[in-house]
Amino acid sequence: MRAGDLLRQLDQRLLPPLTRAVARLGDRSARSGVLTWAALLSSAAVLGTAVWAADDAPIGDRTVGEVTRVGVVDGDSVPGYLRSAAADLAALPTAAPATGEGTYALVTLDAYLPPQRLAAVLGDVSVSTVFGRVPLPGRQTEIVKIPALRVPDDVVAGMAQVAARKDAEAADYRAKAAAVGGDGADERELRGRYASGADVAAAEAAGYRTGCACVYAAVVRAAPVALRGVATRPDVRAVDPAPEVYRLERTVFTPPLPEQHDVVRPPADTGPSAEPTPEAPVESTPVAPVPSASMGESSEPAPVVTIPLPEPSATGPTEPAPPSVTTSPDATGTGPPTPSPS
């Protein structure tokens, strides 16, 4: 019942008897006492109704807008993060949470692994997502986030989707390079940047298509005992438990890259200084409304993209301005390596 309806019912029930009582009483002092009691009763009714209405109001989700971050940010000490993760893992209670579903954790690997190697590392725990990138020396490559409930099958399927998108991306860059007219210094530089972007995208496509050694982290869920077992396996660098995480869509995971050993920092890129990035719309993580990488809140060295992803849109003959530069892993060297076979 709404508060207004309740107040109207109280008026209908209380006021007529009080009015009749006042009319029967001729004594002024008696009339004053009745009116006083009427006022007190009315005030109590209003107060009680207000309290009832407040208690009856629906309570929304108190966690809306709250985001949990698990991993590292720019400037963090990597050895310090590894020590902290180990301490948190050791401090977990042996008993599983009351839900019986286990604790979420970010598993960081020592090196980039192919999908087939993941089963030996993560095979007996529940996997939600894996993180991967093609480690081209000295070049920017995109970090991708692949949903992977079944390892390695979902990882292989996800890599195939990324490979198809990268093929389209490479063709998009080549078309943009061909559309740049003129032979001035600016035009030559712009064509070179687009050509460089095409080369990187093609190398990424070839790597993912062959099931490259590209996976370097995973989000898992298991009991504390199982998580400690994962931490002792070869190729595992750290297991960072996150018992505070209940909803993955409101959590941002930022694992360190295998080549980051001292401090998390935006790495250098030996390619063109302003290499263009894909113009295709992508679904970036996290999906909840949280600060984006462009605001300096993220420690990812390259954009994190969740598959499946839409194909790049066809480009027209107009000459676009080159987009902004992304950061890249702090690998050095020149020339793309041969992608690792599956």
Measure the CA–CA gap between 67 and 85, rounded to whole angstroms: 19
pLDDT score at 28: 53
Domain boundaries along the sequence of the chain: 73-264
pLDDT score at 199: 96
The mean per-residue pLDDT over the stretch 159-187 comes to 96
Model confidence, pTM = 0.65
The token pair at 282 is 């992508």
Measure the CA–CA gap between 129 and 254, rounded to whole angstroms: 12
pLDDT tens-digit readout, 215-259: 999 999 999 999 999 999 999 999 999 999 999 999 999 999 999
Measure the CA–CA gap between 285 and 153, rounded to whole angstroms: 22
The mean per-residue pLDDT over the stretch 65-88 comes to 94
Percentage of the chain exceeding pLDDT 90: 53
Instruction: Identify the band that residue 5 occupies on the pLDDT scale cut at 50, 70 and 90.
Output: low
Which comes out higher in pLDDT, residue 87 or 265?
87
Q: Are the CB atoms for 241 and 227 separated by under 8 Å? A: yes
Measure the CA–CA gap between 47 and 170, rounded to whole angstroms: 69
pLDDT score at 101: 80
Pairing label, strands 143-147, 304-306: parallel
Which residues does 41 contact at the CB level (< 8 Å), separation at least 6? 14
Angle at 101 between CA 100 and CA 105, to 5 degrees: 130
Q: Does the pLDDT value for residue 313 go beyond 70?
A: no
Q: Considering the chain, what is the average pLDDT of its residues?
A: 76
pLDDT score at 162: 98
Pairing label, strands 126-132, 215-222: antiparallel
The mean per-residue pLDDT over the stretch 121-131 comes to 94
